Structure 1
């Protein structure tokens, strides 16, 4: 049986969810971002127990199909931006359509309805958070960051960065405060 879980955005989240399900006596076969496959079917009472336990850690069991699709889109984008080692040379609409086996227009409509923002804005926000992370660690130049995040130029990255954050990448790097967000807050 599959469970869809909101706010699973990192490997630690996967470990916590797996451990908590095992404490409740369930056998997770596969734990992925936003999704768990259990060996057994569960009852409505089991779902309530799982939901209550996961809520303590900031996770939410998803029942609604549109919300599940929206979370799958968010998970796919987070995986793409934050966990892919290769530069982001990809057509986002084709990537999401192929991954989720649905037309992009339908995905876009559902996402906008559930999240009150477009997929593109969410994607840009995730890319900016990744840029902040890269700037914080100071291992790459701005040019290398722009390339990794598939911006056409440093100017394009800088303009989008400023539009989202209100400051330039250089100003962000020079500032001593870290205004990064956790992935579930983006």
Structure 2
């Protein structure tokens, strides 16, 4: 669950099933009381129809928390990291970074760093499409050391330069769920 629409779907399904909850955050739900296994199956089936899934395995949940921390950082935060990404994730999730990195790679098939860079570039693509900021401003906003550094990473991930991407009429962006 990586968007507000997903949260709305989850809330609606919880309410349909009469399940009380204290909160529904991106990637997490706190249901009040014990839920019968059959109710969890019903919730899982309802969520599946909407393209969501119910996770109860601790490793998958932790990987989702890593993904959500990175998505929040790249798409919803204006703040620049004052520490390394590894330290940020370790502090935020209270796990050793080596464990997080190994688990993430095992489950997702890519490194945390690659996932982070891919999301940064998706955010850059979004800012280019909006056409409100020039490349220098985008580089500054996304905390790149220079336009050149941004351009190099952009080309490495997309195969295009940012200026070539901007010229494309049919700009293809991925939804957050598909990155």
Q: What TM-score range do you get, normalising by the shorter chain?
A: over 0.9
Partner of 1:22: 15
Contact in 2 for aligned 1:31/1:37 (Cα 8 Å): yes
TM-score (norm 2): 0.96
5 Å-filtered alignment, 1:4-23, equals 8-23=1-16
CA distance in structure 2 between the partners assigned to 1:75 and 1:138 by the alignment? 26
Q: Which structure has greater strand proportion?
A: 1
5 Å-filtered alignment, 1:30-179, equals 30-179=23-172
Q: 1:151 deviation in Å?
A: 1.2
CA distance in structure 2 between the partners assigned to 1:78 and 1:116 by the alignment? 18
CA distance in structure 2 between the partners assigned to 1:61 and 1:18 by the alignment? 13
Point out the more displaced range, 87-96 or 25-34.
Answer: 87-96
Q: 1:63 deviation in Å?
A: 2.0
Contact in 2 for aligned 1:81/1:88 (Cα 8 Å): no
Q: 1:86 deviation in Å?
A: 2.9
**Structure 2 residues without counterparts, runs of 5 or longer:** none
**Structure 1 residues without counterparts, runs of 5 or longer:** 1-7
Change (3 A) 1:167 1:78: same
CA distance in structure 2 between the partners assigned to 1:89 and 1:143 by the alignment? 21
What whole-Å deviation, never above 9, does each CA across 1:42-79 have from its counterpart, x for those lacking one? Answer: 11111100100000111111122111111110011011
Q: Which has the higher contact order (CA 8 A, sep 6+)?
A: 1
Contact in 2 for aligned 1:22/1:28 (Cα 8 Å): no
Aligned residues: 179
Q: Compute the RMSD of aligned alpha carbons.
A: 1.1
Partner of 2:175: 182
CA distance in structure 2 between the partners assigned to 1:89 and 1:175 by the alignment? 35
Contact in 2 for aligned 1:89/1:150 (Cα 8 Å): no
Q: 1:89 deviation in Å?
A: 5.0
